[in-house]
Structure 1
Amino acid sequence: MTVGIVGVGLIGGSVAQALSAQKQSLWLDDRDPATKQALSRLRLGRVDSYVRWAGGVDTVVLAVPLQEMTRIIYDIVPRMRSTATLIDLSSVKGPVAEALRWAGQSVQVLSLHLMAGREVSGFTAASPDLFRDCAAAVVDIGLGSGPADAIAWWQQVLGCAPFGLWSAYEHDRAMAWVSQLPYLASRAVAQVVQAQAPQTMALAGSGFRDTTRVGKTALSEVLPMLSHNAEELSRALLALESELRVWRQCLDRSVSAAVPLESLDGCLKPNE
């Protein structure tokens, strides 16, 4: 099988390395000249603009930022063979589904989400083992979930956990809770400490680093996803605010009554 990958950063680069280890024939394209040079040196595959190879490969993998996905879908789908497969690895699926409808989807589509993102980006952070045992989803964006044999093949090659099947709507709602909410909470903790108690950073250990790690992802990379999921993410933030408010009220009661937290009703849930 000949695979072309557009966007060879952390995710696309890790896919490329995993496929290269399986001796798959690869075409690679990335907007960053330095990444293209690195790919050429490593010889993971042939490096060229997708305009030149999109019509000749069996599978095209899109691993570009969400803000670029629509433009590339509009441009690349008409170039692909009708028997080819388009795989998108975007972390929210609503905009992808909309773009494919407008592009006049004429190829088989397999929409995957590999939950292996990190706070670092770019090809230099890529690894063939990035997806090992990571959570993964096959998302039905209104075009079916894709052939079972293709799904099984990608799971085996990437080494991820078995794919769960999600609708685009439920998948994107879930991302608000398990991806974007943790990002905002992590970012908020870092900003509050740095703004209100910067002198304490000298004592920040692994707990602080782990808590704030995911929030180090550049906001510009995350904003399109936050915008798409704004309604569900707002619900998630409201729930988090409610939980934090309970803790603040318990702490205030503990101070005013001069008693430890564990002696106050309503502050600790059973088995905590």
Structure 2
Amino acid sequence: MPDSFDRIAVLGLGLIGGSILRALARGGYVVSGYDPAPAEASAARGAGYTVAASAPEAVAGADLIVLAMPLPRLEAALVEIGPWVAPNTVLTDVGTLKVPVLQAVRRRLPGARFVGGHPLAGTEESGFLAGHPLLFRDAPWALALEPDTDLQAWLSLAVLLCDLGARPVPTTAVEQDVAIARVIGLPHMLAEALALTGLRGGELGLSLAAGSYTSGSRVARTRPDLVATWCDGNPGLVAALDDAIAWLTSSRDVLAGGGSVRSLAEAGHRARMEWEHREFGPVDLPVDAEALRQHGRDGGWITAVVEKDGPDLGELRLLGMRPVR
């Protein structure tokens, strides 16, 4: 079977890191956290969790390190903990964009057993107090499998994530970032634009705003610095914006000519309903990196890693789900 983790360190105790700390402790794992912000560290410590006084103290002796700090702080954190990371320690992260994180780890900790991760389970709230141990239940969790990724480390993390109730999705850093541009970056930018457009309509419009406006602009409540880290530096977002602008421009021209936006409404309705009503079926997967990546491209995820007849990787059985066509 893949390695189990005897001691886990979580660096960064905001919404995601704090929820991971809670979930791991709830699952019986030995876990300690660290956050340079006194308020977050104090909140976690006050809730009864083990919180180290420094990042090196947190990671010393850990066999899994979860990097849950904002992207701008990542590189400095890698430099700080580098001397205390043991050769066999597995590192993962929870950042929205995977390419910048992968590049930073390769610069600062070359040869590290790093597996990029991204739980799709956030809210517009932030901070330790906004977290919950069940935040990741049934949530997709991108788990990057690069050509040089340690497969044993990847499988060990997949087991852990399944234990937390999440759905590990095999992918690569590049493919994940391209996909995320359309389902995270673009929705956030549209929400900001909608909030500004509604405001420009004056007080009457704002007093009449109801479900469509509040739902569409909800994620504009997210901290702006976080939104920037999710969008900046992702080339895939440019293509996603081009597609959205093309739809809006076409509809704008139709309206200006006295026509109807029904074709846009019908296409959008059909796309949403097809996504909502996808059906999924179980599959057995080989312990093969490319087969796993293809499983992710096909919309699948891992449900379990089980042992067949022996401890070798070739004796493992991977169970998953994927859309039924």
Asked whether the two chains share a fold, i.e. TM above 0.5, the reply is yes
TM-superposed deviation, 1:157: 2.7
Query: Residue type of the partner of 2:166?
Result: C
Residue in structure 2 matching 1:175, options 174, 180, 183 = 180
Query: Residue type of the partner of 2:163?
Result: V
> Following superposition of structure 1 onto structure 2, how do residues 122-133 of structure 1 map, counting pairs within 5 Å?
122-133=127-138
Residue in structure 1 matching 2:50, options 45, 60, 72 = 45
TM-superposed deviation, 1:58: 1.4
Distance 1:186-1:111 versus aligned 2 partners, 3 A rule: same
* Sequence identity percentage: 27
TM-superposed deviation, 1:135: 1.6
Structure with bigger helix share is 1
Residue in structure 2 matching 1:109, options 111, 114, 128 = 114
For residue 220 of structure 1, what is the aligned residue in structure 2?
225
> Following superposition of structure 1 onto structure 2, how do residues 50-199 of structure 1 map, counting pairs within 5 Å?
50-141=55-146, 143-144=148-149, 146-147=151-152, 149-161=155-167, 163-199=168-204
The 2-side partners of 1:146 and 1:191 are apart by: 46
The 1-side partners of 2:100 and 2:261 are apart by: 46
8 Å CA contact 1:114, 1:131 repeated in 2: yes
Distance 1:92-1:252 versus aligned 2 partners, 3 A rule: same
For residue 250 of structure 2, what is the aligned residue in structure 1?
246
For residue 25 of structure 2, what is the aligned residue in structure 1?
20
8 Å CA contact 2:113, 2:150 repeated in 1: no
TM-superposed deviation, 1:184: 0.2
- Establish whether residue 2 from structure 1 lines up as the match of residue 7 from structure 2: yes
Query: Residue type of the partner of 1:112?
Result: G
Cα RMSD, aligned residues only = 2.1
Query: Residue type of the partner of 2:245?
Result: E
**208-217 or 121-130, which deviates more:** 208-217
Query: Residue type of the partner of 1:80?
Result: V
Q: TM-score, normalised by structure 1?
A: 0.89
The 2-side partners of 1:146 and 1:10 are apart by: 29
The 2-side partners of 1:267 and 1:131 are apart by: 34
Structure 2: gaps (5+ residues): 1-5, 271-325
8 Å CA contact 2:66, 2:91 repeated in 1: yes
- Establish whether residue 202 from structure 1 lines up as the match of residue 207 from structure 2: yes
Structure 1: gaps (5+ residues): none
TM-superposed deviation, 1:201: 1.4
TM-superposed deviation, 1:8: 0.6
TM-superposed deviation, 1:181: 0.6
TM-superposed deviation, 1:226: 2.1
Query: Residue type of the partner of 1:8?
Result: L
The 1-side partners of 2:67 and 2:207 are apart by: 42
Distance 1:268-1:40 versus aligned 2 partners, 3 A rule: closer
Query: Residue type of the partner of 1:157?
Result: D
8 Å CA contact 1:176, 1:236 repeated in 2: yes
Q: Deviations over 1:23-53 (max 9, x none)?
A: 2112110121111111111112243211223
